[in-house]
Structure 1
Amino acid sequence: MTEVTLARWQFAITTVYHFFFVPITIGMSVLVATLQTIWLRTGNDRYLQLTKFYGKLFLINFALGVATGIVQEFQFGMNWSDYSRFVGDVFGAPLALEGLLAFFLESTFLGLWIFGWGRIPRPLHLAAIWLAAIGTWLSSIFILAANSWMQNPVGFVINEAKGRAELVDIGAVLTNPVVLVTVPHQLLACLMTSGALIAAISGWHLWRSTRTPVEPVDQLTDRDTHRWALRFGAVVMLVAGAGVMVSGDVQGKVMTDVQPMKMAAAEALYETAQPAGFSIFTIGTLDGSAEVFSIRIPYVLSFLAEGTPDAEVEGINPLNAEYAERFAPELERLYGPEVAAQLTSFNPNVPVTYWSFRLMMGLGFAAMGTGLLLLWVTRRGRLPRHRLWFPLLVALPLAPLFANSFGWIFKEMGRQPWLVFGLMPTFTGVSPGTTTGEVITSLVAFTIVYGVLAVVEVGLLLTYIRRGLPDVSAEAAPDSDASDDDVDAPLTFAY
């Protein structure tokens, strides 16, 4: 493998791994704040139990997410310095906003929330978790704005003397059409993932309670609490899933407008079609350059791409010729004829793009179907009793989580062979001094460290999931100011 391929593998592995934590953090921040709001409004201890129970899981995930996210920044300088030099002036604005505004907002108020139980008035304590959630969502918005610029670069000029893009309109970057559709799609997908996690964990506790006779009153109370949480998570998952479908439809139309090659590759559509059918199953040549066999639903792709059933959708082969004519002069001007000549094809990896798109949708639909089934099974006080519920509940949160990951794989692989669409080919962004041995060494090191962190994350989550709902009798007492005896009490990580 070349250093370019190895650098891409390293960035892909670390990014996908990091993104396992991101949807849960973004979604759970809002759901935990919602549970605490319900407790403050109703005074019912069940919601305080759920707040503390899922709040602890949220914090474990948040800590591991921060630790793995730091690695991403180092890679820009280690393996992709030419890319950083080219985009740094544009990326600096949204990423500075993310670091200086959003991250400090979420981390500061999350700290107040962690150590503020019983120490600050309840309304202010509730405000702390909501501000932390807002910071988390703002952080994702700024990062999505930076990524969307790579998909559809706007608001910049090329400084030919310095050989880089320079920002001229931050408003254009933040209101990029790709940003406006990606943000709701991604945030709703995060809520869907977190709703599935809550439904699965509480569903497992319910299922486990049916394995043995339930006699103590507190176990009956916990059962009612988990049943409510299961249905709450399932409803969140279904409502957010419906929003993901709607926003995904809009996103597909924007994608067709700014990156028609990505849409063509997602459907393995090699030749322009009018009307175009949605591929149920397509077999291509081994090199992914031509269709051998396909089963298609007529008119559907035309509607997904353009909103009308008889619209024309451009195919991979004519788009490849169009891109060569459109981008070759600019590439020669920016990088010289020798570099431009290396970009012989503008096709992404069609099999990866095609199947990641379908896995994204298929796993999302499977999660929504399981959520509907859970609502039906738990209607009118019923419980999930069948032994098959155990594997279904284990798979439930993994389905939308992996759907998120496959969605990002589709988004990034469908952009290839570009780092910045139409401006910077991927192979031109690698650090000029990087060697194959250096990338292999760092790749192995990161993989080992991430493997250890995965064991730590799963171990901590399973430990606290098994413990079940906490005792909140002390915290549920009426709010009052700290007594003089408590003034010097040490801060505690109380849950």
Structure 2
Amino acid sequence: MPNQLVVDLSRLQFGLTAAFHFIFVPLTIGLIILVAVMETLYRRTKDEMYREMADFWGKLYAINFVLGVVTGITMEFQFGTNWSEYSKFMGDIFGIPLAIEALLAFFLESTFFGIWFFGRERWPQLRALSAWMVALGTNLSALWIITANGFMQHPVGYKIVEIDGRKLIHLENFWEVFFNPNVWWMLVHTILASYIVGSFFVLGVSTYHFLKGVSGRKREFFERSFRLALTMAVLATLLTAVTGHFQGVNVARTQPATAAAFEGIWEGGKGVPFHLFSIPVPSQEKNILECCPIPYLGSLLYTNNPFGEVKGLKDFPAEDRPPVAVVTWTFRLMVGLGLYFLAVAVYAWWKYRKGGLEALERSPKLLKALLYTIPLPYIAAWLGWGAAEFGRQPWAVYGLMRTSEAVSPVSVGDVVFSLVGLTFFYGVLIVADIYLLSKFAKEGPHLEEAPGKGISGRPVEA
């Protein structure tokens, strides 16, 4: 049995590494879609404003992309340094999607990123195609990484073999692994969450310039950007709520202890209520301050049937339960933020449809809310990832390998050294990312001022 301190430190190191990396990933996935749409609109209309929009937002995307690549590479090294027992056990399955991700998705993304970013003036006819290929690469990358993670959440398509006295997982059915329902619900939910990050980033930067009183072509520039991002925000927040529900139903089917921890359900049964607020106390195996129960809603949320049966935490041995308090709070905060994003996006869309940009400018509190919301989708994405990963505990591979069995036989000192070094390294990258994004976002695009018309058809000042 490995030293528990090594287990805890290794978990902390990988958790911090993944959290740092996940600062870059959602914006990469979400922002490139908007850039690709701008490139397409320029290709179809030959309107120079769309080219300028793609150049400006594309520059911010490029900063985030380049720094994000570095964090992803070092994260994968940890499977060999800190989690070698896991790598030996899972290598036959885990290695395949990660290899495909590197050889197909990452090279597709990187190649077309180079064509799009460095060859935009030399091959203008490839601008839109290259942007969409980059977007495709980012989404394929997410697919293969989540394929590996989906197996950890719900192992399928495998058999256990024994080689030299060691039990290992052997891939038996690749397509069963690929079409694992955990993969696809998680994939769609994650990508939509990334679209929320990207859209609210553009909304926030645009409203920053509205609050500064931007005029002329810059006003038109940010109004068009705002409109595209607002459309994405409304669609993404609505669809995220829908896919989140079905992902919850799937978790209740494949990881019933995790689903019970989401809502702090200790006593299972049929027709379980949903409490709007509760505080779980694992040591007493109950909740305190339960309030506002909604009859049958708990069963409806996790079985699509108000009278469906939901298992409670007491149905599982204590050693097989996840850290209930952590899972409950991360899940509920994520859901609360998701509802907030939906409300803000729909309200801003309604205001804009009703009176255009002028109506929004008469609501400075709404504009400030959109500006200050920029970091919140990142936090929601972290919380969602935390709910899934903490919810799988105490398993590295659900039902097959405990986390305590997966770590490398290394010393505490080795883990501390790498933990401190990586934290410092990632801290520098995060500071650089925030500084560069803030600097260029506040600076805005460099446009030649000329009279024009906003997207609403109203003249804008020169």
Give the structure-2-normalised TM-score: 0.92
Aligned to 1:81: 84
Corresponding residue SS for 2:270: coil
Q: What is the match of residue 356 of structure 1? A: 330
> How many positions carry a matched residue from both structures?
440
Matching residue within 346, 356, 378 for 1:380: 356
Question: For residues 172 and 286 of structure 1, what CA distance do their matches in structure 2 show?
Answer: 36
Q: Which protein has the larger Cα radius of gyration, Structure 1 or Structure 2?
A: 1
Q: Which residue of 1 aligns with 2:427?
A: 451
Check whether the contact 2:218–2:447 (CA below 8 A) recurs between aligned residues. no
Question: Aligned to 1:52, which of 43, 51, 55?
Answer: 55
Q: Does 1:266 align with 2:262?
A: yes
- State the identity as a percent: 38
Asked whether the 8 Å contact 1:360–1:403 carries over to 2, the reply is yes
After TM superposition, list the pairs within 5 Å mapping 1:13-24 onto structure 2: 13-24=16-27
Q: Which residue identity is paired with 1:444?
A: V
Residues 19-44 of structure 1: per-residue CA shift (max 9 Å, x gap): 11111101112211111101111122
Deviation, structure 1 residue 224: 2.0
Q: Check conservation: 1:366, 1:399, Cα contact below 8 A.
A: no
1:91 correspondence with 2:94: yes
For residue 341 of structure 1, what is the aligned residue in structure 2? none
Which residue is 1:257 aligned to? 253
Distance in 1 separating the partners of 2:281 and 2:117:
55
Is the contact between residue 299 and residue 309 of structure 1 (CA under 8 Å) also seen in structure 2?
yes
Partner of 2:184: 180
Residue by residue over 1:330-372, the C-alpha shift from the partner in whole angstroms, topping out at 9 and shown as x without a partner, is xxxxxxxxxxxxxx61110001100100111111221222223
- Of 435, 439, 442, which residue of structure 2 is paired with 1:463? 439
Check if 1:129 corresponds to 2:131. Answer: yes
Structure 1 residues 237-386: aligned runs within 5 Å: 237-285=233-281, 287=283, 289-295=285-291, 296-320=293-317, 345-378=319-352, 379-382=355-358, 383-384=360-361
- In structure 2, relative to structure 1, the CA distance for the partners of 1:385 and 1:71 (3 Å cut) is farther
1:410 Cα offset (Å): 0.1
Give unpaired runs (5+ residues) of structure 1: 211-218, 321-343, 474-495
Q: Which amino acid in structure 1 is aligned with residue 253 of structure 2?
A: D
Secondary structure in 2 aligned to 1:310? coil
Q: Residue 431 in 1 paired to residue 408 in 2?
A: yes
Provide Cα deviations, 1:272-299, integer angstroms capped at 9, x if missing partner.
Answer: 1321112221123363632234122211
Give the TM-score normalised by structure 1.
0.86
Change (3 A) 1:5 1:61: same
Matches within 5 A, 1:389-408: 391-408=368-385
Given that residues 95 and 146 in structure 1 are in contact (C-alpha distance below 8 angstroms), is that contact kept between their aligned partners in structure 2? yes
Give the Å deviation of 1:13.
0.8
Distance 2:170 2:21 in 1: 29
Cα offset for 1:249?
Answer: 1.1
Specify the SS of the correspondent of 1:271. coil
Aligned mates of 2:212, 2:124 — CA distance in 1: 37
- Are 1:144 and 2:140 matched, yes or no? no
CA distance in 2, matches of 1:249, 1:285: 25
**1:179-227 deviations in Å (ceiling 9; x for gaps):** 12111111111112111111111111111116xxxxxxxx322112212
SS class of match (1:294): strand
In the alignment, the residues of structure 2 paired with residue 95 and residue 150 of structure 1 have an alpha-carbon distance, to the nearest angstrom, of 13
Residue 225 of structure 1: aligned partner: 221
Distance 1:437 1:390 in 2: 49
The residue that corresponds to 1:159 in the other structure is: 161
Which sections of structure 2, spanning at least 5 residues, go unmatched?
450-462
CA distance in 2, matches of 1:246, 1:136: 23
